Every structure is written in C-alpha cells, then in structure tokens.
Amino acid sequence: MLIEFTLNRKRVAVEAPPDITLLTLLRDYFNLTGTKEGCSVGECGACAVIMDGRLVNSCLVLAPQAAGSEVITIEGIRGPDGGPNDMQENFITYGAVQCGICIPGMIMAGEALLMHNPNPTRAEIRTALAGNLCRCTGYQQIVDAIEATARSREGNR
Amino acid sequence: MPRFDYVRAGSVAEALRLLAEPGLTSRPLAGGTDVLVYIRHERAPFDRLVDISRVPELKIIERRGNEVVVGGAVTYTEAAESPLLRQVAACLVEACLTVGGPAIRNMGTLGGNVVNAAACADSLPPLTCLDTMVHLRSLAGERTMALSEFIMGPNRTAIRAGELLTHFSFPVPPDGARQVFIKLGRRNAQAISRLSIAAIGRLDGQGRADYVRLSPGAAMPTPRRLTEVEAMLLGQVPTDELLIAAGVRSAEVMIAVTGRRWSTEYKEVAIQALAERVLRRVLVL
C-alpha cells in the first residue's frame, strides 16, 4: 500500500506492505539506519522516534499508522551546519556515549522531553528516559547532557 | 504476501462497518502496543486491522453532569495530562503514569488495556474503584455493562466480533475523596505489575470513613472491589488496629477467590501491606 507522511520535514510516499513496522519502514525502505532495532517488543527504546510530537517506539507502530503523520528520526536531528546539534554535542562533552546503540533513542527521548518541557528537573529527565535502556553508561552522563542542553537552550531563549 | 491488511477508520460508524464487513476477519487497532508484540510470535488471528486510534469520538474526555466519559482510544499520556481526570480520577492518572515508559504511554490506550484484559492491566484497579461502566457499539446496537462483568477472566472479555469499546463512564467521586494507586513491579518503569492496588476514601466531620473503594490488580482473575474490606471501614474511625485488620482481610478475600497458588506466598503478605498502605493514605490525614 502507498504510505505518505512527513519524514524529517520532507513529504515522502512509499509503496510498502501493510504488515511491517515503522522501524522496518525507516531502516529498510528509507535506509535510515540510525534508528536501531533492540528488543522489538517496546522494552528498550533503541528504536524510539518522534511521531506527531510524541516519543514512540517504532517497533510497536505499524508502518501504515504513520500515514499522515510527521515523523522525526535521529537523522532529522542536526545542527544548523548539518553537524551535531547542541544536545548531540553535549552527549559528547559529558561522555554520555559508550557503545552507542542506545544513543539515537536517548537523543530522541531527550528532544521529545524538551519539546514539551523546556526546563525539566533531573527527576523529570530520568522519567523521560525510563523507557530507554543503556547497559554502558549508568545513565548519569546522559542525564547530565540533557540537563546541560535544557539549561543552555533556556539561557538562549 | 502481507499477513494482514490495514485500513484506517475516520468515525465510529465507519469502523463498525469495516469491522462487520463479511468475508474477512477484522479487528480494531488502537495503540498497537499489545497487538504488535503478539503478532511477532503468533499467527495474526485476523485478516485486517481497522485503525481506530484517530477517531475523534473515541478520544473524548469530558464531564456530562455527574458523570465522566473517557473514550476508548484515549492514550495513557492523554489521560494523565487531562485536567479533568487529574481532578476527579487521580488514581487512574497515577496508574496511567506507571504503565511502561513514555513511548508506550504515548501509544497505548485505555480501551486497549481493558479489552486485552491482562490480569495485571494497570488501568483495571482504578477503573474498578471508580465503578466504571463499559460502553460497546456494533451495527446491531449499543450495550453497556459494568467493567467487572465485562472482564470474564485473564485476557477474556464479553466483547463480541464486530463490537467496539467506544467509551467508559463513571460517576464523579464525592467531593474531598482522596485517591491513591500503588504498583509493585520489578523496577520503577517498563515493568509489568506483580501486584497493584487502587483506593478512594473520605472521612466525615467526625473522622469516620464515609466513602471507601478498594480494588487490587494482578491479584484475582477478574477485577473487583474488595467490598468485604470496604464494609469493615465504613462508618468507622480508621485506627491503626482497623487498618491492619483491613490489610489482613484483603489477603483473605484474595485467597478465598484464587486459592493458594504458586505466587500466594508472596502476594499474601504483599497485598496485606499494600491495602493497609493505600487505605492509610486515603483515610488518615
């Protein structure tokens, strides 16, 4: 079936079977492999993307459910120069990235949080990341990086 | 060859027509957080999913007189963010905030949680405490039944083929009633309830309980209020002694329903402590 939606701010249309997930659609039909497949059952958050302003696990969204929606993947998160944005820079600065497989989902969860709550407490950041598993960092540095991003964006407002 | 087809409904009427279309088995798709996990390992028990997640009539949260109406396709996030539900159904809001993580709560729906009818479903204790009615519609007409009758057992409900859970309704709890929900899981997020419990309570001017509702989750095969425990407390001053006895009685009621199962050794002491704790929070100032 024809699935039309907005992907990283571009209108797209793709012919795909109705029984695949949004995760498969992104990775195999658009070659956007930044979105990772972890558990495939909504436990780990590695496949998290933003759909219509809300964080979702793309492994639990049927591809045609995205029709008419606005989807942002990690490939749609970048700075004005095309390089890393401020949150991605902060992940580097704060040592929030080790093996890296959870990071696209972590960035999406962080961006989704700041869209709704530009000035979160540390507790709110932790709640926002509750569905994203990281087996390397112990989360502290990830929380630090998102907190620093929120503070600097607030300062620039 | 796709395993199933997908179609999106724009209204309840269209959804019902699509669900009843002869020659193929159609099932509603709301948030998909249960359906997509299920079809990873099991053959899809349908030929087509009818996406009801964007049907405006199924997204309502509103007060009608002394009743609150909540649409079947309302997500946990939408429920938790609703000013009305925060005001009159705090135990439901608390329960919604314990479901999965943010990404699950953004997709999963109250209707889906109830129709899936897992014994551990987090919305069931608060909805039961609130005396929720389930409203169903099909091309044949409408049916309304109590939530406790709608759920017939773990993953079993009274819903019929071609029927849609359109909305829930419950009376606004009395002014000043306090509400609590507690869940025990293996961790604080992304956890399936091992045991949960919701309570609503209020004291009169003399410090006696004049309104008590108590309902545990993941404790019994079908949700129900612990009316035996509620009766112990009604009209009484909630002393330590009485609250402890209420906890003990909660465990007795559970065991009378389920018998002694493999998990009872744990659940007996856990429900006792949880019941006492939630009753204390809603009845002791």
User: Are the beta carbons of B147 and B132 closer than 8 angstroms?
Assistant: yes
Q: Kindly state whether residues B119 and B193 are assigned to the same domain.
A: no
| Edge-to-edge strands, sheet with B209-217 | B178-184, B195-203, B209-217
Looking at the fold, whether B256 and B199 belong to one and the same domain comes out as yes
CATH number, domain with residue B36: 3.30.43.10
Asked if B165 and B230 sit in the same domain, the reply is: no
Which tokens is B199 given? 């309570």
Between chains, do A131 and B102 touch, taking CB under 8 Å as contact?
Answer: yes
Query: Cβ neighbours of residue A94 under 8 Å, at least 6 residues apart?
Result: A141, A142, A144, A145, A148
pLDDT for B186 equals 80
Final residue in a domain of this structure, among B152, B171, B190? B171
Q: Shortest CB distance from B104 goes to which of A1, A127, A131? A: A131
**Which residue, among B66, B59, B120, B112, has the nearest Cα to B88 in the 3D structure?**
B66
b/e code A34-58 from CB counts within 10 Å (16+ = b): bbbbbebebbbbbbbbbbeebbbbb
Domain boundary among B127, B153, B171: B171
Which residue ranges of chain B lie beneath pLDDT 70? none
pLDDT score at B73: 98
Q: What is the pLDDT of residues A104-147, one digit of tens each?
A: 999 999 999 999 999 999 999 999 999 999 999 999 999 999 99
- Say whether pLDDT at A70 is over 90: yes
Tell which of B104, B109, B116, B188 to mutate to test the A interface (max A CBs under 10 Å). B104
> A139, A126 in Cβ contact below 8 A?
yes
Lowest mean pLDDT of A20-24, A87-91, B258-262, name the range: B258-262
A124 Cα to chain B: minimum distance (Å): 11
Q: Which residue has the tokens 């993580």?
A: B101
Buried b vs exposed e over B104-135: b needs ≥16 C-beta within 10 Å? bbbbbbbbbbbbbbbbbbbbbbbbbbbbbbbb
pLDDT band at A78 (very low <50, low <70, confident <90, very high): very high
CATH of the domain at B166: 3.30.465.10
Task: Give B182-219 pLDDT, tens digit per residue.
Answer: 999 887 778 888 899 999 999 999 999 999 999 999 98
Distance of residue B105 Cα from the nearest chain A Cα, in angstroms: 9
Q: How many structural domains is chain B composed of? A: 3
What pLDDT score was predicted for residue A17?
98
Do B186 and B167 sit in the same domain of this protein?
no
Measuring CA to CA, which residue among A149, A148, A47 is closest to residue A104? A47
Helix (H) or strand (E) holding A54: strand A54-57
Q: What domains sit in chain A, N to C, each tagged with a CATH number?
A: 2-76 (3.10.20.30), 86-155 (1.10.150.120)
Write down the pLDDT at residue B261: 87
pLDDT above 90 (res A155): no
Q: pLDDT at position B236, please?
A: 97
Residue range(s) defining the domain that contains residue B10 = 5-51
Which of B171, B188, B219 is where one domain is finished? B171
The average pLDDT across A39-59 equals: 97
Q: Six-digit token pair at B7?
A: 């179609």
| Contact: A43, B190; criterion CB under 8 Å | yes
Residues B70 and B160 in one domain: yes
Which pLDDT value is given to residue A43?
93
Tell me, yes or no, whether B195 and B151 share the same domain. no
